[in-house]
A and B are shown apart, each in its own frame.
Chain A
Amino acid sequence: MSSGATTATMDSTLLPSLSLRRRLTNFLATCAAAGSVILVLVPLGAVFGYLVYRGLGSINWAFLTQTPKPVGEAGGGMANAIAGSALILLIASTVGVPVGIGAGIYLAEYGRNRLGNLIRFTSDVLNGVPSIIIGIVAYGLVVLTQGHFSALAGGVALAIMMIPTITRATEEMLLLVPTAVREAAYGLGVSRWRTTLSITLRTATSGVITGVMLAFARVAGETAPLLFTAFGNQFWNWKLNQPTAALPLQIYTYAISPFDEWHRQAWAGALILIILIVVAVSAVRIAAGRGMLKGGN
């Protein structure tokens, strides 16, 4: 890790004896590496800059409280899409988080065998499946069974996407907990399940929550699996078995539409989406830092 400092001193002592060509190559390579960092930061800055520049002016009270107006009418908002996203994410978390953490516990505590390796491998495979494919599966699984597009189908699709991320994060975090801690619990006569839940998982809580929150942030902006599961809706909907609007879907629909008013709202929606992701992530972070972790007892 200390290569930076070491190299600097070595360079200065060795410079006189180095050929110009070698020094030049070294200099150019350094410039190229630094240049690529700058080149990568430009789009990042541009995306965030544009989001704030185009989005901020369009966010107002109406945008946050009203449903979309028909084409041609100014005003209206994305309130139903924000609520729909919340509903879908709630379903996804309710299904995905327990299963993901459970699978992680299995891998960390019981998974040092062939079945464990198989599950580990499968979970990595599942992590790499394109989100649109998950959409097809959720369509076949829920939409075809129910007979129409629904919030539930969207939630199931996102849950499937959350599970592998949470599983591997939980496993990694549980494995970081020292064996001595487990042995101490066993030594006090605590049963194995109790040790896992109250000692091991508890010690690793913040890591596990970080994993959950990353999975959440990943699916919160997902659009592709919702296209033919949640489908979108111009009106309020709280029923699980009805088509539901979702923020990313609404952004997509508005972005590819030909109307300036809708473009404006798409930017506002995108800004809200980014803010929601950041807020959700920080809220979980703060709760984890304060509530469950402080004592660890």
Chain B
Amino acid sequence: MANHALGAPRLTGPQPVPKSEVASGAKTQAEPLVKAGSSLVADRVFFLAMLGCGLCVLALVALIVYELVTKSGLSWHAFGWKFFFRSEWDPVSEQFGAWPFVYGTVVSSILALILAVPLAIGVAVFITEMSPRWLRGTLAFTTELLAAIPSVIYGLWAIFVLVPLLRQYVEPFLARYFGWTGLFEGAPYGIGMLAAGIILAIMVVPIVSAITREVMTAVPQQQREAVLALGATRWEMIRTGVLRNARAGILGGVILGLGRALGETMAVTMVIGNRAEIARSLFAPGYTMASVIANEFSEATGDVYLSALVEVGLALFLLTIIVNILAQLLVWTVTRGMPARSHV
């Protein structure tokens, strides 16, 4: 993406990653030529300033953990582990349980993945293996443009375009032909779990497909040539030569998408219906952990109420962190050894 800027140094060809030993070695040699004292002090100050910035990142994460843990203490002491398995959410009598939110978050995210993953992998396969060369860059850019649209604009679009579409056409259709599954029952409001899943899917596709493309590109070209030389068709080559080799990384991309879906707030809040209920039907409204914080945090009266909301936040934080770390590890197993490159 930014490689054009490095035109001048590029003329010297690919270079190894700089080693700090080389740098410090060079410096000691250079020192006699300059006023050693001032430069040493300046170097020291500069190093400390940069170190400070680096430590800021550590401090921020520590701060997030500290804030969440201390502010949720009240709710933790009142409800303990049961907080996550109770369905009651009653600010008046100060009884709080996060189960409907956990359920809504997990179901909407999984629904999103079910819809998004096949599409995202299809897009990645098409762009890396099938598309004509002139189309490749444009397609990659266009699909990633989906990731640049702010969440609130997706929400706005979903309210006025997606939800009416679901209400008038898609949900009656699903209820009529797939109603027997029990997943598509009840009045088609448009707003509800299904709408949230679809809008999340649209937001997750660019992430999963970007990572999938990256790990597919990391599969050595010889793999493809070897499979083709054995007489495979193009699809057989992609399936056995590329996808199978990249599967750990693709799984990582999928999990990274899950992490994004779990924490997504605005678009979901605008279409999921915001009712703390658990229903089997996907037409029914739901509530997610992120949306309950978004809706109720600034209006929460009472310490326990606020503390319960922060505890929901803490749970969401831990969930996304675990998911993201898992995803990183999986992606690394495939792309390790690849040169540094922009993920965006």
Instruction: Using CB atoms and an 8 Å cutoff, list the residues of chain A in contact with chain B.
Output: 1-4, 6-7, 10-11, 14, 17-18, 22-23, 25-26, 29-30, 32-37, 39-41, 43-44, 46-47, 50-51, 54, 98-103, 105-112, 115-116, 118-119, 122-126, 128-137, 139-141, 149, 160, 163-165, 167-169, 172-173, 175-183, 186-194, 196-197, 203-207, 210-211, 214, 217-218, 220-224, 227-228, 231, 248, 251-252, 255-256, 263, 266-267, 270, 273-274, 277, 288, 293, 296
A221 touching B150, Cβ below 8 Å: yes
A18 touching B233, Cβ below 8 Å: yes
Contact of B2 among A165, A194, A196, A207 (CB under 8 A): A207
Indicate if B342 sits at the interface (CB-CB under 8 A): yes
How many angstroms between the C-alpha atoms of A60 and B236 in the bound complex? 56
Query: What residues of A have a CB within 8 angstroms of the CB of B42 in the complex?
Result: 191, 193-194
A133 touching B263, Cβ below 8 Å: yes
Shortest Cβ distance from residue A36 to the other chain B in the assembled complex, whole angstroms: 3
- For this complex, 18 residue pairs linking A to B, each with C-beta atoms less than 8 Å apart, are A6-B225, A10-B228, A40-B143, A109-B18, A109-B20, A130-B262, A130-B265, A136-B71, A137-B68, A139-B297, A163-B56, A180-B15, A186-B26, A187-B29, A218-B148, A221-B150, A227-B297, A252-B270
A50 touching B150, Cβ below 8 Å: no
Query: Which one of B22, B64, B324 has the highest number of Cβ atoms from chain A below 10 Å of its Cβ?
Result: B64
Known: A3-B129, A256-B159. A140 touches B20 (CB 8 A): no
Contact of B67 among A119, A130, A141 (CB under 8 A): A141
Q: Which of B64-102 contact A (CB under 8 A)?
A: 64, 67-68, 71
A129 touching B320, Cβ below 8 Å: yes
How many angstroms between the C-alpha atoms of A40 and B124 in the bound complex? 11
In the complex, the chain B residue whose C-beta lies closest to that of A220 is B150
Shortest Cβ distance from residue B66 to the other chain A in the assembled complex, whole angstroms: 9
Shortest Cβ distance from residue B152 to the other chain A in the assembled complex, whole angstroms: 4
How many angstroms between the C-alpha atoms of A220 and B16 in the bound complex? 36
Query: What residues of A have a CB within 8 angstroms of the CB of B302 in the complex?
Result: none
B118 touching A36, Cβ below 8 Å: yes
Shortest Cβ distance from residue B256 to the other chain A in the assembled complex, whole angstroms: 8
Shortest Cβ distance from residue B108 to the other chain A in the assembled complex, whole angstroms: 14
Chain B 307-335: CB-based contact to A (< 8 A → 1; otherwise 0): 00010010011001101110010000000
Instruction: Using CB atoms and an 8 Å cutoff, list the residues of chain B in contact with chain A.
Output: 1-6, 8-9, 12, 15-20, 22-23, 26-27, 29-30, 33-34, 39, 42-43, 45-47, 49-58, 60-61, 63-64, 67-68, 71, 118-123, 125-127, 129-133, 139, 142-143, 145-146, 148-157, 159-161, 202, 205, 209, 221, 224-225, 228, 231, 233-239, 259, 262-266, 270, 290, 293-294, 297-298, 310, 313, 316-317, 320-321, 323-325, 328, 340-344
